[in-house]
Structure 1
Amino acid sequence: MLQNAMPDHLQTRLADYGRLLRLDRPIGSLLLLWPTYWALWLAADGAPGIGNLVIFTLGVFLMRAAGCAINDFADRKVDRHVKRTKDRPLTSGRIAAWEAIALFLGLALVSFLMVVLFTNPLTLYLSFGGVILAFIYPFMKRYTHLPQLFLGAAFSWAIPMAWAAEANDLTQLTWLLFTANVLWTVAYDTFYAMVDRDDDLKIGIKSTAILLGDADLAVIGFLQALVVVILIMVGNQADLGVAYYLGVLAMACLFIYQQYLARFREREACFKAFLNNNWAGFAVFTGLVIDLLIP
């Protein structure tokens, strides 16, 4: 009702802001959320504080939106040459570049203030690294064929932050989870890069999909296998039980399904393989929660 009462131009403006921040496409937030929850639940031995749960849930959505704003700012001139992105609000001129920068800074500031006001000094120190990674990632595709690695670091930085907020410490388990998530992110974002590979080649944008060429699926499979192995190591070190390992097994089965989907390297199929990773992360989280609930 409130939306219908707004003038048409304001409705259009808000819709464009929503598209810029990907409010209509929550997949990125979910892929960031599940590993953050892994860390919170493990660090708290199955009982994370309500405050930390709220802070990091909000932080995930705010920082993912901020990352989308700065990503579109960085790509505003090249997106017009990519079929999937040519109609984005910033690329088409419906939103100005300064507005994207302002949104990035505003959302990052809100996230930073939540950390300052409601967590501990260790989490605060780590938060600076998170903001830096979120800012530099979008520009890496111009300088290296490994922008997916930078995205992996950015998407994984919530793991040590969440762990520090809950336990006020970092352990070997923290960095095992971090490593697993970096590798997982590189794998699924390579599927995503395969969707745009033809366009990226024409305009000179770099990615792991271009770097790997015909070896893309093999390397993705290798990375996925490493993720499973490291998560098994996490379960062993944390003395987790059957439910957790069933969650990891479900992730492994979904990885095999993703390889099947992308076997012909078709755009839509590769995108479906990318989207399927939401369920892989959810499977591990579900297994972890159930396991930690069992006495």
Structure 2
Amino acid sequence: MLFSTNDTGPVADAVKRHWVDTRLPAWLRPYARLARWERPIGWWLLLWPCLWSAALAAIASGAAWPNPWHMFLFFIGAVAMRGAGCTYNDIVDEDIDGQVERTRSRPIPAGQVTRTQAKIFLVLQALTGLVVLLQFNTFSIALGVASLVPVAIYPFMKRITNWPQLFLGFAFSWGALMGWAAVFGSLGWAPIPLYLGGICWTIGYDTIYAHQDKEDDALVGVRSTALLFGERTKLALVLLYLSASLLFALAAMLADAGPLAFMGIAAGVVHLFWQIVKLDIDQPEECLKLFRSNGKFGWIMFIGFVLDALVQGL
């Protein structure tokens, strides 16, 4: 049965005393943990490229603000597809998660849900994402379907390449194309550097995140940019974040953005380099805190773009 579960307690790295564990019915909690509902930073990181792209499209089209209906759809889609992605990742990684201290208490290796139950839950979340996608124009629907390719291959990349974070970037930055396509029904030049910049940003923040697991990853044979960069992580982050910022600026320029958009990008640069200064790759709690701070970076960029659209659209 789908809802017959064995709730043996929260995941080790989950937010403690979260509403998932205090307010949800016991039968629903393992599914919420599969979807990472107690960790909204994941869907924020998936959502931000969508919202940035929608805001740049507003600037380019002369609108005073991004389309509110599109932003609502992107929000629902981000929550659903991030949950589906996490569920799929946990199904694929059951053997690895069971060997890593931080992840062995996740619902599948801990026996809270069966693989069949997880697969059914995956389908339900994916169907929610499909309903959202069907609200857009035909080009956006085709583009959204194409995003399933990087989503499908990402969980396997940690087994065969030192750059799994690159493939995460391919998947998580896809929204940089979607926001623009939803407005124009096609792709222009501006969303391309926005997408590439999002990939660089994703590699950066997920490298920080991966430093939490580097010892266990090395033991079980999982690859990551955290292990690849090692003590050169700060230098790598400088190059990645600088590249991301320059690409974001190029995207804004191609969208005919004004000063406020570039001020937002500049403020974002300050935040990203603050992360690098604060980073201690041997302090897992600090790594997690800095990883989560990328949600604030998303707000900084988005506010700059929205204010620019508002000024230009009035």
Q: Same fold (TM over 0.5)?
A: yes
In structure 2, what is the Cα distance between the partners aligned to 1:125 and 1:70? 22
Structure 1 pair 141–275 and aligned structure 2 pair: CA distance change class (3 A): same
Q: CA deviation at 1:187?
A: 0.6
Q: 2:294 aligns with which of 277, 291, 294?
A: 277
Q: CA deviation at 1:264?
A: 4.9
The yes-or-no answer on 1:54 pairing with 2:54 is no
One-letter amino acid of the counterpart of residue 76, structure 1: E
Query: Does structure 1 conserve the Cα–Cα contact (< 8 Å) formed by 2:94 and 2:108?
Result: yes
Where in structure 2 are the equivalents of 1:200-219 lying within 5 Å? Answer: 200-219=217-236
The range that moved more, 256-265 or 190-199, is 256-265
The range that moved more, 274-283 or 51-60, is 51-60
In structure 1, what is the Cα distance between the partners aligned to 2:149 and 2:274? 35
Q: Indicate the residue corresponding to 1:89 in structure 2.
A: 107
In structure 1, what is the Cα distance between the partners aligned to 2:238 and 2:68? 37
Q: What do you get for the CA RMSD once the two structures are aligned?
A: 1.7
In structure 2, what is the Cα distance between the partners aligned to 1:149 and 1:47? 31
Query: Does structure 1 conserve the Cα–Cα contact (< 8 Å) formed by 2:169 and 2:199?
Result: yes
Q: Indicate the residue corresponding to 1:124 in structure 2.
A: 141
Q: 1:11 aligns with which of 25, 30, 37?
A: 25
One-letter amino acid of the counterpart of residue 43, structure 1: A
In structure 1, what is the Cα distance between the partners aligned to 2:54 and 2:213? 34
Query: Does structure 2 conserve the Cα–Cα contact (< 8 Å) formed by 1:228 and 1:252?
Result: yes
In structure 2, what is the Cα distance between the partners aligned to 1:115 and 1:200? 35
Where in structure 2 are the equivalents of 1:221-236 lying within 5 Å? Answer: 221-236=238-253
Where in structure 2 are the equivalents of 1:2-41 lying within 5 Å? Answer: 11-41=25-55
Query: Does structure 1 conserve the Cα–Cα contact (< 8 Å) formed by 2:157 and 2:167?
Result: yes
> CA-to-partner distance for each residue in 1:10-42, whole Å, 9 max, x for gaps?
822211111110000000111111111011121
The range that moved more, 37-46 or 260-269, is 260-269
Q: Indicate the residue corresponding to 1:240 in structure 2.
A: 257
Greater RCO (Cα-Cα under 8 Å, separation 6 or more):
2
Query: Does structure 2 conserve the Cα–Cα contact (< 8 Å) formed by 1:193 and 1:207?
Result: yes
Q: 1:261 aligns with which of 278, 282, 301?
A: 278
Structure whose residues are more often helix by fraction: 1
The range that moved more, 100-109 or 148-157, is 100-109
> CA-to-partner distance for each residue in 1:54-90, whole Å, 9 max, x for gaps?
2211111110010110111111121122222121111
One-letter amino acid of the counterpart of residue 185, structure 2: N
In structure 1, what is the Cα distance between the partners aligned to 2:161 and 2:122? 23
Query: Does structure 2 conserve the Cα–Cα contact (< 8 Å) formed by 1:112 and 1:127?
Result: no
> CA-to-partner distance for each residue in 1:214-268, whole Å, 9 max, x for gaps?
2222111110011111122222222323322221122111112111221353211
The range that moved more, 198-207 or 46-55, is 46-55
Structure 1's unaligned 5+ residue stretches are 1-7
Query: Does structure 1 conserve the Cα–Cα contact (< 8 Å) formed by 2:66 and 2:306?
Result: no
> CA-to-partner distance for each residue in 1:152-189, whole Å, 9 max, x for gaps?
01001122122211111101101011001011001100
The yes-or-no answer on 1:142 pairing with 2:156 is no
Query: Does structure 2 conserve the Cα–Cα contact (< 8 Å) formed by 1:261 and 1:272?
Result: no
Where in structure 2 are the equivalents of 1:150-169 lying within 5 Å? Answer: 150-169=167-186
Q: Indicate the residue corresponding to 1:72 in structure 2.
A: 90
In structure 2, what is the Cα distance between the partners aligned to 1:79 and 1:50? 39
In structure 1, what is the Cα distance between the partners aligned to 2:112 and 2:281? 36
Aligned residue pairs: how many? 286
In structure 1, what is the Cα distance between the partners aligned to 2:168 and 2:36? 17
In structure 2, what is the Cα distance between the partners aligned to 1:258 and 1:226? 15
One-letter amino acid of the counterpart of residue 47, structure 2: L
Q: Indicate the residue corresponding to 2:18 in structure 1.
A: none
Q: Percent identity of the aligned residues? A: 35
Q: CA deviation at 1:208?
A: 0.9
Q: Normalised by the size of structure 2, how large is the TM-score?
A: 0.86
One-letter amino acid of the counterpart of residue 25, structure 1: R
Query: Does structure 1 conserve the Cα–Cα contact (< 8 Å) formed by 2:56 and 2:252?
Result: no
One-letter amino acid of the counterpart of residue 35, structure 1: P
Query: Does structure 2 conserve the Cα–Cα contact (< 8 Å) formed by 1:36 and 1:56?
Result: yes
In structure 2, what is the Cα distance between the partners aligned to 1:34 and 1:228? 15
